Structure 1
């Protein structure tokens, strides 16, 4: 009985931390979107004003992403402690892949890098991206299994569909299918479909974890 009570307590805390993680990601998107809207409707800007807005956006993005990552790490660590699962190992591998990709992207911005090196790094980045998404699939399917919550599987397919639709809207915008206010609406819609809706559904998936 005491063991069951401990398991329920840890699961409840993991659920809470997973939910907080999603809220941080949503706050990230909301802040970036509001800054983009502000920039669009308060033009023209001086170079200094644009730099300040970019700095604010970067600080908010980095801090909220870091906080969200820490909370999802804590949640998955707790799930790994009470279930016979490899979700924690999968998550750590995914984080390492992201960190490696960030370093490679920074390397692409170095002065004096040769075209051959750029091409090689680009291929490596593609490989890392594919590897990350495989881990992302495995992680969410594992979460669905151990929590007996199929919404995590649904989230994977929902996110894929959202990415396809959002990418299509962005592509149409690049080829000039949207202009003026319609362009702003299309950009907002693509952001919502690509990022906000999947994350909101992920929040719902964490919320629906049964604590029994």
Structure 2
């Protein structure tokens, strides 16, 4: 292994609407690192199946679609559609799909000079050796409020109670699955953003990253 390392990885996990994506993009921008929202990779598989009128419960076809995903061409606007998200939650539980995408995500994490990956199993499965692991969380109510405000600000129609119910369901599914459940890595730093704005969360993360980078160069 070359020293100092030629790449530096920041692994960020947390439930939906916790603020992890916003924080990940902010960190990547600040350090000039590559960024990957791993949730979009599962959505890309679902979108590929939908576009080709293929069933969402065929693991062989889903794995084939996963292997053809181009991580450099993930269109957040297209993949953020609610229907795509619903479909993605079905393919994301398939072990063969997870294996294919995790291998691609792991390769992405090794891109120099560094990479920030956010998702559900980055610190535990994709990048267990990442020098900085963050677990971003917030109360379900705070996360539902953020999602509601985001939809409304984009001119969409939203129902707070339905969003809260949907997030609670997703949490149960993500934390309860047998393959790569959502949970903090043993050595992850916990950041609860319920009462914290993005700037405060960023400064907390920056302190941890700067310390790890300093250690990395000695």
TM range (shorter): under 0.3
**Higher percent of residues as strand:** 2
TM-score computed with the length of structure 1 as normaliser: 0.27
Q: Which has the higher contact order (CA 8 A, sep 6+)?
A: 2
TM-score computed with the length of structure 2 as normaliser: 0.27
Question: Which is higher, the Rg of structure 1 or of structure 2?
Answer: 1
